[in-house]
Amino acid sequence: MIVEREYGDDALARVYVARMREDDPASLVEFVESLQPPLPREQKWVLIVSSLFGCPAGCPMCDAGGGYRGRLDADEIIEQVSFMVRRRYSGLAVPVPRFKIQLARMGDPLYNPAIADVLERLPDLLDAPGLEPCLSTIAPASGGPLLERVRGIKDRLYPGGRFQMQFSIHSTDETARERLLPVPRWDLAAIAAFGERWHRPGDKLVTLNFTVIEGVPIDAGALRRHFDPARFLVKLTPLNPTERALSCGLRPGFDPARPETVAPLARALEGEGFRVIVSIGELQENRIGSNCGQFVTRLNREGIASARAPLADGAYAVPAGTREGGR
C-alpha cells in the first residue's frame, strides 16, 4: 500500500488516499481516522475503511459510486487499519475505551465477502479491549448470505453491544428508495425481519440511517409499521455536499447549521417510540472531506500524476513511497 495523499486535521479528521497495488495506478481508496469532539482520542477514536475500489451501486448522493474496479482482499482492508493504528500507537495496541472501526467508506461492504474474514481477524490482530466494529450497508439483495455470516461472527466475537449494525434506507417510500439506491436491494420488510434475527439481549439497537433530502418522504408511522423501537433506532444525517449530490440536483432536507430545522421530523419519530439521533458532526468535516469519496473521484479525474501536486484547498501530499505492509 502506498499512501499518496493526506487531508485534514488531527484535531478532527484525517483522510488518507492510498494506492493499494503498486502496479495498478487506479487502485485508489480512501480511509479516515476521526474524533468526536469534545471527546479526545484517548476516549473515542473512529477508523473508517474502504472495502471496494469504487462502488457498483452508484447512489446519487455518494462520490464513491461510478468507475467500479473490484474488491479489496482482506489483507488490503486490514492494511488500512494497521497503517492508522501504527501512526498513533505501538505494537498494534489501542488503549481506547471506544475504538470504532467502520466498514463504511468506499463501497458497500456487502459486495465484498472478505469483510467477514476481516471481522474474524481483528480481535487477534489488535490489542484493543474497546474494539467495536460497525457495518453500514444499503442492504443489496445479494448480501443476505454474507449478512448471516456476519451475524454469527457478531454473536461469537462481539457480543454484549460491541458491534454496530446500520442500514442506510433514506426513505420510507420504496419509489424514492429506488431512485436513491438504484440497485436490487432489500425492502423495508426484509430489513426489519433481519433486524429481528440480529438483535439479541445486550446488543446495540440496529441503526436505521436517513440522509434527509428535500422532497424525499420519511413517514414516522410507516416506519413504525415495519420496525420495532425495541430493536431499532433512527439516525438523521444531513446531505453532504458531494459532487454527485450537486450534479443530481439533490438538496438538503434540513440546515445542519440550524439543527432545529429537523426537530419536527425527530419529534414525529420519537412520538412513534423511536430513539432518534441527529448526527450532524462538525461542519468543518465537509471542508476536510471526511464524509464521502470525493478525493479518489477527483484524483481519478485529474490523473494520478497530479496526486503529489499541491492543492489550493489545504490538502498536501505525503512523501512519495510511504508504504504499509510491504505491498
* pLDDT tens digits, one per residue of 53-65: 988 887 877 776 5
Residue 243 has a pLDDT of 76
| 299: confidence class by pLDDT, cuts 50, 70, 90 | low
| 49: confidence class by pLDDT, cuts 50, 70, 90 | very high
The model's pLDDT over 109-144, given as tens digits with 9 standing for 90+, comes to: 999 999 999 999 999 999 999 999 999 999 999 999
Mean pLDDT for the chain overall = 87
pLDDT at 327 over 50: no
Domain ranges of the chain: 2-303
3-class secondary structure per residue, the chain: CEEEEEEEECCCEEEEEEECCCCCCCCEEEEEEECECCECCCCEEEEEECCEECCCCCCCCCCCCCCCCEECCHHHHHHHHHHHHHHHCCCCECCCCEEEEEECCCCCHHHCCHHHHHHHHHHHHCECCCEEEEEEECCEHHHHHHHHHHHHHHHHHCCCCCCEEEEECCCCCHHHHHHHCCCCECCHHHHHHHHHHHCCCCCCCEEEEEEEECCCCCCHHHHHHHCCCCCEEEEEEECCCCHHHHHCCCCECCCCCCHHHHHHHHHHHHHCCCCEEECCCCCHHHHHCCCCCHHHHHHHHHCHHHHHCCCCCCCECCCCCCECCCC
Residue 65 has a pLDDT of 58
pTM listed for this prediction: 0.87
The model's pLDDT over 152-198, given as tens digits with 9 standing for 90+, comes to: 999 999 999 999 999 999 999 999 999 999 899 999 999 999 999 99
Instruction: Looking at the structure, give the CATH architecture of the domain made up of residues 2-303.
Output: Alpha-Beta Barrel (3.20)
